[in-house]
Amino acid sequence: MRIDIISVVPGLLEGPFSHSILKRAEEKGLATVRVHNLRDYAGGKQKQVDDYAFGGGAGMVMMIEPIAKCIEALKSEREYDEVIYMTPDGKKFDQQMANELSLKENFIILCGHYKGVDERVRLKWITKEISIGDYVLSGGELAAAVVTDAIIRLIPGVLNDESSALTDSFQDGLLAPPVYTRPADYEGMKVPEILMSGHQAKIDTWRFEASVRRTKERRPDLLEGKEI
C-alpha cells in the first residue's frame, strides 16, 4: 500500500509516521507513506496556496492550481484507487471504512486548511470525503494521521500478533472485553479466575459475554437490530 498525503503543514505529520507500528510497516515494506508539501507546487515568489473567498467573508480558501499540479504529478506516476479529502463535512470514519480502505493499494489524502479547498477541487478530483468526527480541527493533518494509522495496522503482517486486529473493539460490531496482565492480585483487585484457568473455550465464552455486557452498557446503539 502507498499513501500520498498532501499538506500545507507537512511537519505536523512527521511524528506519527516515524514511530512504532507505522514505522515498522514501512520498514517491512508493507506500507509507504509520503507527505508532499503543497507549497512545492505553488507558483510565484510567495508560493501562494490560498486566496480570499469570492463573495467575501472571513477565512482563506485553498487554490485549485497547486493542488491540481500535485495530484496530477502523483497520478502520472501510478494509479490511485481513491483521492480522499479530509473535511468535517465528509462521511464519518469508522472501523468498517478502515477495513474497506485497508484492501486498497494506493491512495492520495488531501488535507484541508483555512476555510477548505475551492469546491471545484472536490468536484474534479476527490472520490471520497472523510470526517473523523463532528468537531473542527485546524487542518486535516491530524485527521489524516488517524485514518492512516487505523488503515495500516489492518494490513496483514503489520501487527506482530496477526489475530490482534481481529479482536479489536468494533471488528465484530462489539466493544472489546476487559484485559488483564500480571500481577494476578493487585492490592486485592483480582483478575477473574476463568482467565487463569487455561480452559480456552470457557475463556472465549467469558470474553464474548463481557464484550456484550460492555457494549450494552456503553454503546447500546451498536446492538440495534442485532440478535445476541
- Positions in the binding site for ligand ADE (CB under 6 A): 86-88, 112, 131-133, 135-137, 140, 143
Q: Specify the residue, 146 or 174, whose C-beta has the smaller distance to ligand ADE.
A: 146
Q: Where are the beta strands (DSSP E) in the chain?
A: 2-7, 32-37, 50-52, 60-62, 82-92, 106-111, 128-131, 185-186, 189-190
Cα atoms in the Cβ-side hemisphere of radius 13 Å centred on 101: 27
**Cell output for 95:** 472501523
Nearest to 69 by CA among 116, 106, 36, 105: 36
Provide, rounded to whole angstroms, the least separation between the CB of residue 140 and ligand ADE. Answer: 4
Residues in Cβ contact with 68 at an 8 Å cutoff, skipping those fewer than 6 apart: 121, 124, 125
Provide, rounded to whole angstroms, the least separation between the CB of residue 88 and ligand ADE. Answer: 4
Instruction: Calculate ∠ Cα 26-32-37, nearest 5°.
Output: 125
Dihedral sign, CA of 213, 218, 219, 225? positive
Provide, rounded to whole angstroms, the least separation between the CB of residue 60 and ligand ADE. Answer: 15
Q: Specify the residue, 62 or 152, whose C-beta has the smaller distance to ligand ADE.
A: 62
Q: Specify the residue, 16 or 88, whose C-beta has the smaller distance to ligand ADE.
A: 88
212, 174 contact by CB (below 8 A)? yes
d(CA 100, CA 20): 23
Q: Specify the residue, 53 or 137, whose C-beta has the smaller distance to ligand ADE.
A: 137
Q: Specify the residue, 132 or 210, whose C-beta has the smaller distance to ligand ADE.
A: 132
